Structure 1
């Protein structure tokens, strides 16, 4: 499938590179198919709509940035995504990129869950958790010698 992308120009995606989001994403309910594209030499990916060039989200693996992050999937999500084993689960969080970059944030309240083997995805809103939609990716560094 030929896809016009926001960051990679026109590319070709094979059927096995496309993830189906039955319910779309919140705010983008008509967007049902996405490709997961790498951003070279970064820990980030682009979740790119196959339908609309401008709909592309910068995402990352939250466990690389927030090692204590926990996602407890509901039975409904496990069933919807046909998840049978933990190895099938890919977890990403959507980033809000800021200028300056060190002010960028991650939405830990609503991770994107993908069943890598079945090519199914869903943004899972963890209601009742302490996670917010804007967790800073980079905590301010304490200057050496500062008190």
Structure 2
């Protein structure tokens, strides 16, 4: 299937890799179908691209790569909505705000994207804890991790 993308132009995707957000994303409730595209060779950053709206794409990252003690406790309703049965079924991504220079970029650790990668159901989950913010500087977190 061909789609038009924000960063890669026209791209061929496998329809079986489409991720379904039954409730859309906050601010984009009508957008329910997305696909993950690799942004770089090392795979740290990916793009969560709408399969319908060309300009709707979010740079995302696995928060556990940058924040060693990142914790996420999903409510039972989320586990049911996404049909999560095993912890290994879960993929967690954080939306990144890319800044110049790149080292100043931030990630939304308060509202991660939770994906059941076995059935491709997903949801943006807002953590009720005040421990994380929508603008965590991920590279500073990574530097702290390396120093320790």
TM-score using structure 1 length: 0.92
Over alpha carbons, which structure has the higher Rg?
1
1:8 aligns with 2:8: yes
Q: Deviations over 1:73-128 (max 9, x none)?
A: 00010000000111110000000000111110010000000000011000000123
Paired residue for 2:65? 64
How many residues align? The count is: 142
CA distance in 1, matches of 2:72, 2:38: 23
- Report which stretch shifted further, 24-33 or 5-14: 5-14
Cα distance in 2 between the residues matched to 1:4 and 1:61? 25
Task: Map residues 1-147 of structure 1 onto 2, 5 A cutoff.
Answer: 1-42=1-42, 43-139=44-140
Structure 1 position 130, deviation (Å):
1.4
The residue that corresponds to 2:146 in the other structure is none
Structure 1 residue 9: Cα displacement:
1.1
More helix per residue: 2
TM value normalised by structure 2: 0.91
| Structure 2, unpaired ranges of 5+ | 144-148
SS at match of 2:16: helix
Q: CA deviation at 1:129?
A: 3.2
| Alignment gaps of 5+ in structure 1 | 142-147
